[in-house]
């Protein structure tokens, strides 16, 4: 299949409404407005669209729970705090109307009359630009009062304050309501009781962009791309030691090898690959043959997450990778529950000690034990997910860590 056969039709991307409309933009919404909300949900179901925010939850299953009683809300999760992930930024800068079109279609399908874009605070210029995008959509009659009989919808932009955990949907909603940005225990799910106790539907930027494309080009088109259980096109984020880091569009299920080759190949010799974000396992070069989609990665006990692929070469110290990851977890833990608040600090302390040459052999076992406790007792997926990077590094690069601990202890004792 050629690149031009699928997805965003990159050659037609445009931040302006005129450019977007020249490239079929807003035809999906026009079609949607001639359909019933149930028919739209059915179209999304037939496309088997899985949420692109990280968890891969079927979008239609979420939308089907809508009672369509006013007021209901639609939130676009543009928090994008995942290290190595910058696909939503790409959509918002290169084709923001695709996301807006997806939001309006979603709002019509679930009966929401108010929308919010919760955007990462570190994207101030994009937030500013999005105000202009919204104005363009409003001027064209796609937003505002009576878009079609009985359907009005407006969107506000809310800027985040820099917390990673606020990317989690319930923490995000708390933050959006002006509360402390910490998660709540589900149920209630946001679609039952979300913003101000009203039904609230949250989707990622890329998911909403896909919804617009499904309405424009059809469910069969979407299903014809990618793998059977995880269909569609995908924006993969390639970073680290590749020659041309960036966003690469490819079908779901593409292999790591193909993606790295799209990104110009590895700088030097490949050592490790992290898939899915900071919470994903770190593999050796065995990962080259992995197919990247939700289903395939689940079968490997890994995660597909946001579609981030971070490539490391033989210049990289895995002890330092572990230390940076654990520092990230310790700094970003929201502090609500003890296992994560304390566990992330302990892990960070042990990883830091190893890098500084003060590590002990027993730290390696203790780190696994701590990660296990956190998986079993942390309140939200953030604390539970520390297990994958910890265990994979300790399993796949154990020899390197042991050697470092031995070597540094030897030097310290000799001094
Ligand atoms: C710690 C944490 C951080 C998250 N960060 C994001 C994020 O930055 N963007 C996002 O879309 N989803 C993020 N999610 C997933 C959201 O909770 C939610 O599943 C998603 O926005 C739903 O949209 P989707 O169904 O379209 O994927 C995060 C989840 C967790 C637990
Ligand atoms: S697991 Fe961590 S991030 Fe989640 S609620 Fe507990 S302290 Fe907060």
Identify the pLDDT of residue 316.
97
| Residue 77 Cβ < 6 Å to ligand 1 | yes
pLDDT in tens, 272-310: 999 999 999 999 999 999 999 999 999 999 999 999 999
Q: What's this model's pTM, rounded to 2 decimal places?
A: 0.95
Identify the pLDDT of residue 414.
61
Q: How far is the CA of 80 from the centre of ligand 1 (A)?
A: 8
What is the distance between the alpha carbons of residues 26 and 216, in angstroms, rounded to a whole number?
Answer: 8
**Mind listing the domains of the chain with CATH numbers?**
3-223 (3.40.50.11540), 233-313 (3.10.20.600), 318-414 (1.20.1440.230)
User: Measured from the CA of 383, which atom of ligand 2 is nearest?
Assistant: 1
**11 pLDDT above the threshold of 80:** no
> Across the chain, which distance is largest between two alpha carbons, in Å?
81
Mutation to probe ligand 2, out of 336, 345, 376, 385 (largest number of atoms < 8 A from CB)? 336
Contact assessment for residue 53 and residue 204, using Cβ atoms and an 8 Å cutoff: yes
**48 pLDDT above the threshold of 50:** yes
Angle between the N-to-C axes of helices 387-396 and 318-332, in degrees from 0 to 180, rounded to the nearest 10: 170
At CA 16, angle to CA 14 and CA 17, rounded to 5?
Answer: 110
Q: How far is the CA of 397 from the centre of ligand 2 (A)?
A: 28
Mean pLDDT estimate for the chain? 94
H or E segment to which residue 215 belongs: helix 205-217
Contact assessment for residue 41 and residue 64, using Cβ atoms and an 8 Å cutoff: yes
Q: How far is the CA of 188 from the centre of ligand 2 (A)?
A: 18
User: Measured from the CA of 167, which atom of ligand 1 is nearest?
Assistant: 5
| Strand boundaries in 112-183, DSSP class E | 114-119, 144-148, 151-159
Q: Whose CA is nearest to atom 28 of ligand 1?
A: 168
Q: How far is the CA of 260 from the centre of ligand 2 (A)?
A: 33
pLDDT in tens, 158-169: 999 989 999 999
Q: How far is the CA of 358 from the centre of ligand 2 (A)?
A: 28
| Residue 80 Cβ < 6 Å to ligand 1 | yes
User: Measured from the CA of 335, which atom of ligand 2 is nearest?
Assistant: 7
């Amino acid at each position: 299949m050629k690149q031009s056969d699928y997805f965003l039709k990159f050659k037609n991307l445009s931040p302006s409404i005129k450019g977007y409309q020249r490239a079929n933009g807003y035809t999906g919404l026009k079609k949607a407005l001639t359909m019933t909300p149930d028919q739209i949900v059915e179209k999304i179901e037939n496309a088997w669209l899985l949420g692109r925010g990280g968890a891969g939850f079927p979008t239609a299953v979420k939308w089907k729970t809508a009672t369509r009683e006013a007021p209901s809300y639609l939130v676009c999760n543009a928090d994008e705090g995942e290290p190595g992930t910058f696909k939503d930024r790409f959509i918002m800068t290169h084709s923001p109307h695709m996301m807006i079109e997806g939001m309006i279609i979603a709002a019509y399908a679930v009966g929401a009359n108010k929308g919010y874009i919760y955007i990462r605070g570190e994207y101030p210029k994009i937030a500013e630009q999005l105000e202009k995008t919204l104005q363009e959509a409003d001027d064209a009659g796609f937003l505002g009062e009576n878009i079609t009989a009985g359907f009005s919808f407006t969107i506000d932009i809310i800027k985040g304050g820099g917390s990673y955990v606020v990317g989690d949907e319930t923490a995000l909603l708390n933050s959006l309501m002006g509360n402390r940005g910490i998660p709540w225990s589900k149920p209630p799910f946001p679609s039952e009781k979300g913003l101000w106790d009203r039904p609230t539907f949250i989707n990622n930027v890329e998911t909403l962009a896909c919804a617009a494309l499904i309405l424009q080009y059809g469910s069969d088109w979407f299903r014809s791309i990618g793998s059977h259980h995880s269909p569609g096109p995908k924006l993969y984020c390639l970073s680290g030691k590749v020659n041309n880091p960036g966003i690469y569009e490819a079908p779901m299920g593409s292999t790591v090898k193909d993606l790295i080759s799209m990104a110009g190949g590895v700088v030097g010799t490949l050592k490790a690959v992290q898939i899915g974000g900071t919470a994903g396992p770190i593999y050796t070069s065995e990962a080259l043959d992995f197919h990247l989609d939700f289903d395939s990665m689940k079968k490997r006990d890994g995660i597909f997450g946001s579609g981030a692929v971070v490539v490391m070469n033989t210049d990289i110290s895995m002890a330092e990778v572990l230390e940076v990851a654990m520092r990230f977890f310790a700094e970003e833990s929201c502090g609500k529950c003890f296992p994560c608040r304390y566990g992330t600090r302990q892990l960070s302390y042990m990883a830091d000690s190893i890098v500084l040459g003060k590590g002990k052999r027993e730290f390696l076992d203790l780190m696994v034990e701590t990660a296990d406790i956190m998986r079993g007792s942390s309140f939200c997926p953030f604390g539970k997910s520390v297990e994958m990077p910890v265990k994979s590094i300790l399993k796949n690069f154990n020899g390197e860590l042991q050697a470092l601990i031995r070597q540094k202890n030897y030097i310290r004792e000799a001094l």
